[in-house]
């Protein structure tokens, strides 16, 4: 910000700062007014970055000229002393150049008296009409960084908005010309981010106009940006002066809000208050968490008062069969032990990069030896390939030492210590991403090689620290750091500057040395911490007067059968990838398909590994942590009844309110005892679960854990791989439909190659002709909400069966398959046809459907006794099945590509039906790029909708009112979805409600995560008004009928909020999660988003703001879609461009919606 003509003028950087932290523009405003002095740091490296940025911009300019583009440069009159007049002159020169239709405008300037902007380039786009003529301009900006970041995107969106004021239309895209030798250009569709950006800019303008920036926060809440902000020391001082609650180690923002609501404003006030006095003011289900925070605050305050460091050992938790926790989890030290630390940048290379792997061996040489492994290629660049090689070199170092330490009994004689879960989870992710070292990593994990010192500290003791970072603990064991960098934020900031400086130069080398020294300090500090913890363990033994148990050494060896399967897979992987060029950019379609298949061979084993990793991660938590911090397992179980049978015992157990993912008729395991159970029934409303099992004791916790033999599915994929190795990927031969799916080939159904498969609006009519002509190929049918895809599938199957074809149906679940088969039967009966239907486990009318279980079922299918067969992938993985003529894969957007290939091997042709824009496939593991897709997502690639030559897009919805459809179509379907005739008649007649469209109900609350009583109250009021006497709705045919509870769907993202809503609304209302209601519809849908803010959302933005889930939730509605949410959810701090896209979809809903109370007078 700056003062011009007596008023504050702001630029893009001010908006970027506001997006990152609400306090930052207040500080900048104070600096612009001369109230505060901006922090000044002399940083030669930063000066060098600025200079390199200028060079990059100049180089891009010369490249444009060399390519023959005419460039006009805007140069303000240097004789003018008035800065505002200079800006006005330059802005007018820019407008003249635009009106003249210049091809490229360099240093384009915009100034409207309150905003100023300087776009590096404007480039003309012909054929796009604007008020200038038959052309328009788009913004291009150069950035020295090798990756696009949110700040850069906000900047070009800011320029685009100023550009729109001149030419009368926004650019379709904005562009960033990035640095580095790759010279990458990233382009972004403005519409994907525009709603969030507009809201951000409006909030900034309102705050500036209302004088909000003139009053800085006395003690601002810490945010992510604090780590790299130049004002951070200033704000830290404010928080310390205020004795801010954030100074308590481990306290969450939501917990600070709860304490403030309970009348606790400072750390000292919390520490000094007797627990009994404040417990009644805090959520009962979270008492254990707050009691620990109370102890923590007391320790910190006592240490400050006495000037002495303090710690307390946690009491022992011992029990037969229970895992060792806290200080008991420390293994016996050995001379072979290593200490491991990874430096990562979450903002680089789109989704982050691990740029340095450090390993310290304290027993090698005098004072130990440190080994760094950098993710840098031969040209000095940080790339994905360089990350892969660094990961392999670092892991191979660990693995060699591990193998050398193996004892005669097969157990390992070394451990790898780390601080926090980041290191092993990163190794798992990278091994899966790159499809390498997975088998060896399994060995280290089976041997329990990795030891998390952070977990041991947190479970074993309490210390008078403000955070349990390793830096805060170092005073306890006297470690002195050598590096100048203070923390992880400094390391990331130094790495970012190192990236921007490019290769070579003194500054560049000095930054790298500083980063390496910081990582070495982390590794050495971990070794010193381990030794200090050993001393605390001996102290604990002295307190108890006896030796305490340690973790026993484990064998890394897999079973013999597993080892043989891994050997087969490894050999096929080698054959499939032997002749691939070194970089993916050089691959042909066939080579890419071979690489994908090679990495899919281990897909099922990765998923199984992830299940076990999750099981053992739960095993390492305390029972209290499972209830409060885990959203998957069900913890805190207490027996209510027990019924002992001859083979199994049945228990009913009570559980406290919590978020979990356990469902009825589901296999589960107790993570502490590892015993197996079957969930028979679960009632979240009453907090009761019924289970059966062979265990002698009831479970204390349950984790969903469906076990299956991965070798059956792996064997089928290996069979496909063997066929590809023998016959090639393309052309005639066995499993051609599966190979065509891998290749993403255009369907072969009688059309001209590359021609649209159907005219616009005629996809449903063309489907019968295309499916009948399909020849050893795959056809995709994308069916957005309400387009009648199940009805279409049924008609297609009945037609094929009537012509003598054998047809198969598969999907992710028996319920989906049953639904299709029932619709097939109904369609056939309506047409006067009899169709013989079979299912692996028949769920349809008893006596009418054949069972396909066992050999008799397979013979019935092969002989033609069954015309239409339904079953999950397990049916189609049977080697004895003769290929059916056509296999339909329903909900193909939720079925993994790996399972789709297994099923496709049992068919001559495949029809994939579904919608990747709705719920995605459920997966646990990370997978190499391209192998993590659903079957339909694989065919669509980066597109939101299926291209016209690749498949059919059902473009007419019979459900959505035009006002809802406009939002759904533009946000999720490239504008291709349209309402059927008559949908405009659908309307609501209820006092205070809009007749149709979108409604936003803002409900203010703080500190809510998976439940919000405020939103429960708001939803109850909405439902009461909607079902009041006289309320009605009109359907597509114009028929008016009373609106009842059956006409309303109430949706929430979390089970606990569903429970609260159902308790309040009663059984007559349909209440459930997004997953429960896919495929259902109602005149009115109410979506309660529950969490108070992004920070309160336990599963993060990818879950709560998920585009797929928002699409499903809002598109269940025929005439009115209602979103109930905290206004704070609309303004999340976005640290990635992906988060900006997620936030913009919700902002777009609110932008288009009527806001509750603004038109009706209600509140």
Per-residue pLDDT band at 662 (split at 50, 70, 90): confident
Q: Are 431 and 438 in contact (CB under 8 A)?
A: yes
User: Is the model's pLDDT at 1159 over the cut of 50?
Assistant: no
For the stretch 1074-1091, pLDDT in tens is: 988 888 899 999 999 999
Q: What is the per-residue DSSP string for 991-1057? A: TTS-SSEEEEEE---SS-SS--HHHHHHHHHHHHHHTSTT-EEE-TTS-EEE--GGGEEEE-SSHHH
Distance CA(107)–CA(116), nearest Å, equals: 12
* 1023 vs 1157, residue with greater confidence: 1023
- The whole-angstrom distance between residue 640's C-alpha and the CA centroid of its chain comes to 38
467-490 average pLDDT score: 87
Kindly tell me the sign of the dihedral angle through the C-alpha atoms of 344, 348, 352, 354: negative
Let me know if 501 is exposed, middle or buried by CB neighbors in 10 A (0-12, 13-18, 19+): buried
Tell me what the mean pLDDT of segment 803-821 comes to: 94
The pLDDT of residue 403 is above 70 = yes
In the block, tokens 């330490």 appear at: 405
* Cα angle, residue 539 at apex, residues 535 and 540 outer, rounded to 5°: 120
DSSP result, 288-348 = HHHHHHHHHHHHHHHHHHHTS--EEEPPP---TTPPP-GGGGPPPP-TT-EEEEEEEETTS
How far apart are alpha carbons 1115 and 1121 in whole angstroms?
8
299 vs 174: CA distance, rounded Å: 53
What is the C-alpha separation between 436 and 1155, in angstroms, rounded?
52
Give percent helix, percent strand, percent coil of the chain, each to the nearest 5. 45, 20, 40
Counting Cβ atoms within 10 Å, is residue 352 exposed (0-12), middle (13-18) or buried (19+)?
Answer: middle
* Integer CA distances (angstroms), 239 to 244, 266, 851, 1003, in order: 5, 10, 69, 29
- Do the beta carbons of residue 558 and residue 442 sit within 8 Å? yes
Of the candidates 755, 1020, 781, 1021, the one whose C-alpha atom is nearest the C-alpha of residue 886 is 781
Which of 683-697, 797-811, 914-928, 1093-1107 shows the highest mean pLDDT? 797-811
- In total, the chain counts a number of residues equal to 1163
- Any idea what DSSP says for residue 372? E
Tokens describing residue 71: 């460039």
User: Per-residue pLDDT tens for 85-120?
Assistant: 889 999 999 999 999 999 999 999 999 989 999 999
Instruction: Select from 1008, 927, 974, 1002 the least CA-distant residue to 1157.
Output: 1002
Residue 546 confidence (pLDDT) above 80: yes
Tokens 């030419």 locate to 167
Band of pLDDT at residue 508, cut at 50, 70 and 90: low
Residue-wise over 620-650: b if at least 16 C-beta within 10 A, else e? Answer: bbbbbbbbbebbbbbbbbeeeeeeeeeeebb
Within 13 Å and on the Cβ side, how many CA atoms surround 1113? Answer: 28
Q: Which of 1084, 1112, 1093, 1106 is nearest to 1019 (CA)?
A: 1084
Of 494-498, 557-561, 1030-1034, least confident by mean pLDDT is: 557-561
Global pTM reads 0.85
From 13-17, 36-40, 575-579, 1129-1133, the region with the lowest mean pLDDT: 36-40
How far apart CA 751 and CA 777 sit, in angstroms, is 13
Query: Residue-wise over 191-208: b if at least 16 C-beta within 10 A, else e?
Result: ebbbbbbbbbbebbeebb
Q: CA 724 to CA 905: how far, in whole Å? A: 12
Q: Is the pLDDT of residue 1101 over 90?
A: yes
pLDDT of residue 94: 96
User: What pLDDT score was predicted for residue 620?
Assistant: 82
Per-residue pLDDT band at 184 (split at 50, 70, 90): confident
Strands 907-914 and 884-889: parallel
Sort strands 369-374 and 353-361 into parallel, antiparallel or unpaired.
Answer: antiparallel
Distance CA(860)–CA(877), nearest Å, equals: 16
Q: Which of 822, 827, 853 is nearest to 837 (CA)?
A: 822
- Cα–Cα distances in Å, from 1078 out to 99, 912, 1022? 51, 18, 22
In order of their start, the domains of the chain are 1-41+212-240 (no CATH), 42-185 (no CATH), 243-306 (1.10.150), 326-544 (3.30.420), 621-704 (2.40.30), 716-954 (3.40.50.300), 962-1155 (3.40.50.300)
State the pLDDT confidence band at 350, using cuts at 50, 70 and 90: low
Rounded Cα distance between 1071 and 1113, Å, is 12
> What mean pLDDT, rounded, does the chain reach?
90
Which range, of 225-234, 499-508, 674-683, 1056-1065, averages the lowest pLDDT? 499-508
**Exposure letters 156-165 (e unless 16+ CB within 10 A, then b):** bbbbbbbbbe
* CA quadruple 295, 300, 305, 310: dihedral, nearest 10: 90
Give the list of residues 6+ apart from residue 562 with CB closer than 8 angstroms, or none. Answer: none
Q: Average of pLDDT values for 548-577?
A: 85
**Each residue of 944-977: pLDDT tens digit?**
999 999 999 999 999 999 999 999 999 999 999 9
The model's pLDDT over 730-776, given as tens digits with 9 standing for 90+, comes to 988 999 999 999 999 999 987 777 889 998 888 888 999 999 999 99
Residue 701 burial (CB count, 10 A): 24
Nearest Cα residue to 235 out of 36, 76, 23? 23
List the end-to-end C-alpha distance of the chain, in Å, as a whole number: 37
Q: What is the pLDDT of residue 506?
A: 55
DSSP assignment string, 28-49: HHHHHTTSSPPP----HHHHHH
Closest by CA to 717, choosing from 741, 693, 687, is 741
So what's the pLDDT on residue 131? 94
Phi and psi for 841 in degrees, rounded to 5? -125, 95
- From 761-775, 848-862, 1015-1029, the region with the lowest mean pLDDT: 848-862
Lowest mean pLDDT among 424-438, 903-917, 1135-1149: 424-438
The answer to whether 645 touches 636, Cβ cutoff 8 Å, is no
Nearest-angstrom CA–CA distance, 507 and 491 = 15
**pLDDT for 646:** 84
Tell me the C-alpha distance between 246 and 266, whole Å.
9
- pLDDT of 2 reads 83
In sequence order, the β-bridge partners of residue 461 are 313
Task: Summarize pLDDT for 868-884 with one digit per residue, the tens.
Answer: 999 999 999 999 999 99
CA dist., res. 265 & res. 524, Å (int): 39
Average pLDDT over residues 1047-1067: 94
Question: C-alpha angle with apex 456: 452 to 457, nearest 5 degrees?
Answer: 115
Q: What single DSSP character describes residue 1115? A: T
Q: How confident is the model at residue 321 (pLDDT cuts 50, 70, 90)?
A: low
The CB density around residue 7, as the number of other CB atoms within 10 Å, is 11
Q: What is the mean pLDDT of residues 9-35?
A: 89
- Residue 1033 bridge partners (DSSP): 988, 1041
Among 281-290, 542-551, 595-604, 755-764, which stretch is predicted with the lowest mean pLDDT? Answer: 281-290
CA 1122 to chain centre: 24
Q: How far is CA 940 from the centre of its chain?
A: 20
Residue 475 CB partners (closer than 8 Å, separation 6+):
309
Quote the CA–CA distance of 789 and 1079 in Å, as a whole number: 10
Band (pLDDT 50/70/90 cuts) for residue 1160 is very low
DSSP 72-99: EE----TT---HHHHHHHHHHHHHHHHH
Reduce the DSSP state of residue 747 to 3 states and report it.
Answer: coil
Tell me the average pLDDT across 63-72.
92
């Amino acid at each position: 910000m700056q003062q011009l003509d007596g008023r504050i003028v702001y630029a893009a950087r001010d908006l970027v700062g506001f997006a990152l932290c609400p306090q930052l523009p207040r500080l900048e405003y104070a600096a612009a007014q001369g109230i505060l002095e901006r922090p000044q740091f002399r940083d030669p490296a930063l000066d060098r970055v600025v200079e390199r940025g200028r060079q990059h911009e100049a180089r891009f300019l010369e490249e444009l000229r060399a390519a023959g583009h005419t460039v006009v440069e805007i140069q303000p009159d240097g004789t003018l002393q008035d800065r505002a007049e200079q800006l006005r002159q330059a802005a007018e020169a820019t407008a003249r150049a635009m009106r003249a239709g210049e091809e490229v405008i360099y240093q384009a300037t915009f100034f409207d008296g309150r905003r100023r902007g300087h776009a590096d380039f404007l480039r003309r786009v012909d054929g796009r009409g604007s008020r200038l003529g038959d052309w328009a301009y788009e913004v291009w900006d150069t950035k020295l960084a090798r990756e696009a970041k949110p700040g850069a995107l906000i900047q070009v969106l800011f320029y685009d908005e100023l550009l729109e004021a001149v030419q009368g239309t926004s650019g379709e895209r904005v562009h960033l010309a990035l640095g580095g030798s790759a010279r990458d250009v990233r382009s972004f569709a403005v519409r994907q981010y525009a709603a969030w950006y507009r809201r951000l800019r409006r909030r900034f303008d309102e705050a500036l106009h209302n004088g909000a920036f003139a009053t800085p926060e006395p003690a601002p809440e810490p945010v992510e940006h604090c780590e790299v902000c130049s004002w951070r020391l200033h704000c830290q001082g404010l928080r310390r002066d205020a004795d801010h609650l954030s100074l308590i180690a481990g306290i969450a923002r939501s917990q600070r809000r709860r304490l403030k609501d309970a009348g606790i404003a400072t750390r000292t006030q919390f520490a000094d208050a007797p627990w009994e006095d404040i417990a009644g003011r805090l959520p009962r289900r979270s008492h254990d968490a707050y009691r620990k925070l109370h102890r923590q605050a007391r320790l910190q305050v006592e240490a400050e008062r006495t000037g002495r460091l303090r710690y307390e050992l946690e009491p022992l938790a011992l029990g037969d069969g229970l895992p060792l926790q806290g200080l008991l989890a420390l293994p016996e030290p050995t001379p072979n032990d290593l200490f491991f630390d990874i430096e990562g940048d979450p903002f680089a290379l789109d989704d982050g990069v691990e740029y340095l792997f450090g390993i310290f061996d304290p027993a090698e040489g005098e004072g130990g030896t440190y080994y760094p492994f950098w993710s840098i290629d031969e040209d000095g660049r940080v790339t994905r390939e360089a990350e892969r090689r660094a990961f392999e070199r670092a892991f191979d170092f660990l693995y060699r030492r591990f193998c050398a330490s193996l004892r005669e009994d097969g157990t390992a004689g070394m451990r790898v210590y780390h601080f926090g879960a980041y290191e092993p989870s990163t190794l798992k992710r990278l091994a899966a991403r790159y499809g390498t070292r997975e088998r060896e990593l399994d060995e280290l994990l089976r041997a329990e090689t990795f030891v998390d010192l952070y977990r041991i500290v947190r479970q074993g003791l309490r210390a008078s620290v403000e955070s349990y970072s390793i830096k805060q603990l170092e005073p306890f064991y006297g470690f002195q750091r050598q590096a100048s960098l203070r923390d992880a934020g400094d390391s990331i900031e130094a790495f970012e500057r190192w990236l921007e400086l490019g290769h070579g130069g003194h500054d560049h080398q000095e930054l790298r040395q500083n980063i390496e020294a910081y990582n070495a300090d982390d590794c050495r500090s971990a070794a010193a911490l381990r030794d200090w913890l050993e001393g605390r363990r001996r102290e604990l033994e002295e307190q108890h007067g006896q030796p305490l148990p340690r973790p026993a050494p484990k064998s890394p060896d897999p079973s013999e059968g597993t080892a043989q399967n891994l050997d087969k897979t490894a050999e096929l992987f080698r054959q499939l990838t032997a002749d691939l060029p070194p970089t993916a950019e050089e691959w042909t379609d066939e080579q890419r398909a071979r690489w994908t298949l090679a990495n899919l061979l281990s897909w099922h084993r990765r998923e199984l590994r992830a299940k076990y990793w999750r099981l053992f991660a739960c095993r390492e938590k305390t029972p209290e942590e499972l209830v409060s911090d885990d959203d998957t397992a069900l913890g805190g179980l207490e027996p209510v009844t027990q019924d002992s049978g001859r083979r199994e015992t049945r228990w009913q157990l009570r559980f406290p309110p919590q978020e979990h993912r356990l469902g009825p008729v589901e296999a589960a395991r107790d993570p502490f005892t590892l015993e197996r159970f079957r969930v028979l029934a679960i009632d979240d409303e009453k907090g009761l679960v019924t289970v059966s099992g062979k265990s002698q004791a009831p479970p204390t916790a349950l984790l969903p854990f469906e076990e299956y033999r991965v070798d059956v599915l792996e064997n089928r994929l290996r069979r496909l791989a063997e066929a590809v190795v023998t016959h090639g990927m393309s052309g005639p031969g066995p499993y051609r439909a599966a190979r065509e799916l891998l290749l993403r080939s255009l369907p072969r159904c009688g059309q001209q190659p590359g021609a649209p498969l159907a005219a616009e609006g005629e996809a449903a009519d063309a489907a019968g002709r295309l499916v009948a002509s399909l020849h050893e190929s795959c056809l995709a049918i994308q069916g957005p909400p309400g387009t009648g895809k199940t009805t279409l599938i049924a008609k297609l199957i009945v037609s094929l069966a009537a012509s003598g074809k054998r047809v198969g149906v598969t999907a992710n679940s028996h319920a989906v398959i049953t639904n299709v088969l029932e619709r097939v039967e109904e369609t056939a009966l309506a047409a006067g046809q009899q169709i013989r239907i079979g299912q692996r486990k028949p769920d349809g009318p008893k006596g009418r459907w054949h069972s396909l279980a066992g050999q008799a079922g397979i013979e019935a299918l092969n002989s033609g006794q069954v015309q239409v067969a339904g079953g999950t992938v397990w049916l189609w993985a049977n080697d004895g099945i003769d290929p059916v003529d056509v296999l339909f894969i329903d909900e193909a957007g939720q079925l993994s590509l790996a399972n789709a290939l297994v099923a496709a091997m049992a068919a001559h042709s495949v029809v994939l039906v579904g919608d990747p824009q709705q719920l995605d496939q459920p997966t646990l593991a990370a997978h190499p790029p391209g192998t993590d897709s659903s079957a339909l997502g694989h065919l669509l690639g980066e597109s939101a909708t299926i291209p016209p030559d690749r498949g059919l897009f059902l473009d007419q919805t019979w459900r959505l009112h035009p006002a809802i459809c406009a939002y759904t179509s533009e946000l999720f379907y490239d504008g291709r979805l349209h309402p059927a005739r008559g949908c405009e008649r659908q309307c609501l007649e209820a006092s205070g409600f809009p007749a149709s469209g979108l409604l936003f109900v803002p409900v203010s609350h703080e500190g809510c995560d998976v439940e919000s009583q405020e939103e429960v109250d708001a939803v109850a009021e909405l439902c009461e008004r909607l079902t009041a006497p006289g309320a009605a709705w009109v359907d597509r045919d114009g028929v008016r009928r009373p609106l009842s509870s059956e006409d309303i769907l109430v949706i929430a993202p979390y089970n606990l909020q569903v429970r609260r809503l159902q308790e309040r609304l009663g059984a007559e209302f349909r209440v459930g999660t997004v997953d429960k209601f896919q495929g259902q519809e109602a005149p009115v849908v109410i979506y309660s988003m529950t969490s108070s803010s992004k920070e309160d959302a336990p599963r993060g933005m990818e879950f709560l703001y998920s585009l797929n889930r928002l699409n499903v939730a809002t598109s269940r509605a025929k005439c009115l879609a209602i979103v109930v949410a905290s206004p704070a959810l609309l303004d999340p701090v976005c640290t990635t461009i992906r988060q900006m896209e997620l936030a913009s979809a919700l902002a777009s809903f609110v932008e288009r919606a009527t806001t509750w109370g603004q038109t009706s007078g209600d509140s």
